[in-house]
Each structure stands twice: as structure tokens, then as C-alpha cells.
Amino acid sequence: QVQLQESGPGLVKPSQTLSLTCTVSGGSISSGSYYWSWIRQPAGKGLEWIGRIYTSGSTNYNPSLKSRVTISVDTSKNQFSLKLSSVTAADTAVYYCARVRQVPADDYYYYYYMDVWGKGTTVTVSS
Amino acid sequence: DIQMTQSPSSLSASVGDRVTITCRASQSISSYLNWYQQKPGKAPKLLIYAASSLQSGVPSRFSGSGSGTDFTLTISSLQPEDFATYYCQQSYSTPRYSFGQGTKLEIK
């Protein structure tokens, strides 16, 4: 079955760019009608959705992070990536990648839900 | 932005109890509502999608209901492995998939 694994530096300095990669195994990132998403969770707090990408390269971002976020996909490596610029201590969190499944709700709309998650990687922003 | 509010924020219950967690949206989201379970140090796990559809492999003691602004997650008979934090999440307002703040279910 499909598995996701996050990777990247665990420590990033303030004002620098956080870069993470999610590697998809057990299936092709290009197969099926899936989006691929990033979510984060500060220690002891709730979940925050960061953004998603389709394998065509189409992206959607959380408006509160949009000016600093870039999500990209590399289908040849079966990976998608997150870049978050100008980080501060408030960006310290566990970062998860997830597969977003879409199923038809009616003729025009889809249900979206995150059915496969990576284990998460902790990123600390500190000098 | 659509705000998702869960109640209660925490809940104590015993094995075998029937438990209900509520999620309320700040505006109608039809049935575009998902529920996740998260255990300490682990990634969230999908339980329910589209308000009431049980994800494959999830025990049938979990059920979801609701539409519009009010939703519930019910665990019919609590098992020891069910003690965790539960989150609702809306997918109506694409692309911002906002989550509720979580409900921590603890052992009484």
C-alpha cells in the first residue's frame, strides 16, 4: 500500500527557508485522482493545513501562509516538496505530508479527505 | 473563513461507554466533514469522511452523522485503544481545509 515519508532538516534558522520533501512509495504519485498535501502541528496544539498540489502542478495554499509557501512536485522521483520562507519560531512544528483523496459528491463537487499520512517530521526554528 | 468548533475540548469516559463528540461549522458545509483520530506522537488517522462514511478498516463502533453546520462523531462502546484526540475537518471551503481544535478523550 502507499506510504509517505517526510525528510529534511530538523533545525532551521530564523528568516531562512524551511525545505521538506515527501517521498511516496508503494504507488505512483501520478496515478489516480489524488492531491498531495502538507499539514503542520505545533507541539501540544492542533492541526493546520498548509496547502496541496495536484500532479499537474496546480496548487492551493492556506491564505494565512500563502505569501511564504511553495509546494512543488517531482513525478520522476515520486516526491513532492514544501518550501516555507522567512521562518520564525512560530513555524516550529511537526510537519506531515498526506495524500488527499477526492470522490464525487455530485455532478459538480468532490469530497476531499486525507487518507494516507506520513509519520511526520519535527522542524525547529532557532538560531 | 469557515471556523470549526468542537465540543467538548476534553472528555473523560470509561471502557464500554458510548461517547459523542460534536463539531460545529461557522456556516453550512453540507456534508463536507471528515473526522480523524490522533494518538500521542503519531500522525492523524482518517476515521470518517463525507460526514458519515466509514473509512475502510475502521471499526464499526465509530460512526458519524450530521449535515449543514452540526456534526457528531459517536463511539458506541469505547475500547482502550480509542483514547486519543479527535479532530474534525471541513473540505467545503476549498482550498482551506480548516480543522477543529480537537477533543481529547481520556480514561476516567
Chain B hits for A119, Cβ within 8 Å:
42-43
Q: How many residues does chain A have?
A: 127
Distances (CA, A) of A71 to A81, A97, A103, B4: 6, 11, 23, 25
The C-alpha cell of B83 is what?
483514547
- Does A10 contact B at CB distance below 8 Å? no
Contact B51, B33 (CB under 8 A): yes
Residues of chain A contacting B1 with CB distance shorter than 8 Å:
63
Helix, strand or coil, per DSSP, at residue B80 = helix
pLDDT category, B97, cuts 50, 70, 90?
Answer: confident
Cα–Cα nearest to A85, from A96, A71, A98, A69: A69
Whether residues A47 and B99 touch (CB distance < 8 A) is answered with yes
- For B32-86, the pLDDT digits (tens) are 999 999 999 999 999 999 999 999 999 999 999 999 999 999 999 999 999 999 9
Chain A residues within 8 A of B98 when measuring between CB atoms: 49
What percent of the residues of chain A are helix, what percent strand, and what percent coil, each to the nearest 5?
Answer: 0, 55, 45
Instruction: Give the C-alpha separation, A43 to A83, whole Å.
Output: 20
From the candidates B36, B48, B91, which should be mutated to test the interface with A, based on the most A CB atoms within 10 A? B91
A22 interfacial to chain B (CB closer than 8 Å) = no
Whether residue A91 contacts residue A77, with contact meaning beta carbons closer than 8 Å, is answered with no
Q: Which of A69, A56, A54, A70 minimizes the C-alpha distance to A102?
A: A54
DSSP state for residue B95 in the 8-state scheme: T
Chain B partners within 8 Å of A118 (Cβ)? 43
pLDDT in tens, A71-109: 999 999 999 999 999 999 999 999 999 999 999 888 788
What does the pLDDT read at residue B95?
Answer: 65
How much is the average pLDDT of B21-36? 97
- What pLDDT does residue A106 have? 84
Question: Maximum Cα–Cα distance for chain A, whole Å?
Answer: 51
Using one digit for the tens of pLDDT, what is the confidence trace for A24-57?
999 999 987 899 999 999 999 999 999 999 988 9
Residue of A nearest to B48 (CA): A113
Question: Between A52, A114, A119, which is nearest B46 by CB?
Answer: A114
Sign of the Cα pseudo-torsion (B4, B7, B13, B15, in order): negative
